[in-house]
């Protein structure tokens, strides 16, 4: 039985466009291939016993991309959500979206709300999809929520503040994986990832296999997490 498995894994799925360009294909083909890869990752996370898997699917900054690409991404999202719903329910997956969903097309907002409701009692993997998401924006929205609720400064500590975030009720992120060779957070889970371990790979997202995901888990298992403390003499 596997031990020291990260409870919460976040994935920055980067490199779809470059994958397509390297093959002389339209960028949309990279996104299609990336969507297929996502399903494999979800199954791998279930197999090893991850409790929460958060996928960075569409950032707030992504709205600045060409209209045709954004439109295609929304179509792929619509297709994925409608196609995978039954399987999510059958496999016990609990689905959740974080981000400013009001910016999403109304039809997709409706589908998201329906899936969240229909999977809310599931007890398997919690699949969190970050859509129209930015870490700074999430923190700002949490501050505004605190103000709107009339909270006083003395009423707010870290525990209370976390209840105002999109990820309320979820454990902190233990491991963040980023593909494509970039080594930055790109505004992903800034609060939740304060003590996360990182795994960076040159692999472009459409080529990120189950085997490499397992390598990331194994790499995490070898690390000593001290959360700002020091290793005890017996561990040194």
pLDDT, position 1: 43
pLDDT at 28: 87
Between CA 211 and CA 201 the distance in angstroms is: 13
Predicted local distance difference test score (pLDDT) of residue 228:
66
Question: Tell me, what's the pLDDT at 229?
Answer: 62
In this prediction, residue 236 carries a pLDDT of 43
Q: Which residues of the chain have pLDDT under 70?
A: 1-2, 227-236
Residue 14 annotated to the active site: yes
Q: What is the pLDDT of residue 231?
A: 54
Which pTM does this prediction carry?
0.92
For the chain, how are helix, strand and coil distributed in percent, rounded to 5?
A: 45, 15, 40
Q: Which CATH architecture has domain 8-220?
A: 3-Layer(aba) Sandwich (3.40)
- pLDDT, residue 152, reads 92
Where would I find the H helices in the chain?
16-22, 27-48, 67-90, 106-119, 135-148, 158-162, 210-221
- For residue 62, indicate whether it is catalytic: yes
List Cβ neighbours of 205 (8 Å cut-off, separation of 6 or more).
13, 14, 15, 16, 19, 34, 37, 179, 180
Domains of the chain: which residue ranges?
A: 8-220
Exactly one of 51, 62, 114, 122 is catalytic; name it: 62
Task: State the residue for tokens 């929304």.
Answer: 74
pLDDT digits (tens, 9 = 90+) for 29-57: 999 999 989 999 999 999 999 999 999 99
């Amino acid at each position: 039985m596997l031990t020291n498995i990260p409870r919460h894994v976040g994935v920055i799925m980067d490199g779809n466009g470059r994958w397509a360009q390297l093959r002389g294909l339209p960028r949309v083909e990279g996104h299609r291939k990336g969507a297929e890869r996502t399903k494999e990752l979800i199954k791998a996370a279930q197999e090893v016993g991850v409790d929460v898997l958060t996928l960075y699917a569409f950032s707030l900054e992504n709205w600045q991309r060409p209209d045709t690409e954004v439109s295609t991404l929304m179509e792929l999202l619509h297709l994925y959500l409608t196609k995978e719903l039954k399987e999510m329910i059958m496999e016990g997956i609990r689905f959740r979206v974080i981000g400013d969903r009001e910016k999403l097309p109304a039809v997709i907002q409706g589908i998201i709300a329906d899936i969240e409701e229909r999977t809310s009692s599931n007890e398997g993997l919690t699949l969190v999809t970050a859509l129209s998401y930015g870490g700074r924006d999430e923190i700002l929205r949490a501050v505004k929520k605190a103000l709107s609720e009339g909270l006083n400064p003395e009423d707010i500590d870290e525990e209370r503040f976390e209840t105002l975030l999109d990820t309320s009720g979820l454990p902190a992120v233990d491991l963040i994986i980023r593909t494509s060779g970039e080594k930055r957070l790109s505004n992903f889970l800034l609060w939740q990832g304060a003590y996360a371990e990182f795994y960076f790979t040159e692999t472009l997202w459409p080529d990120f296999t189950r085997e490499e995901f397992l390598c990331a888990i194994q790499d995490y298992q070898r690390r000593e997490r001290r959360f700002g403390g020091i290793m005890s003499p017996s561990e040194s």
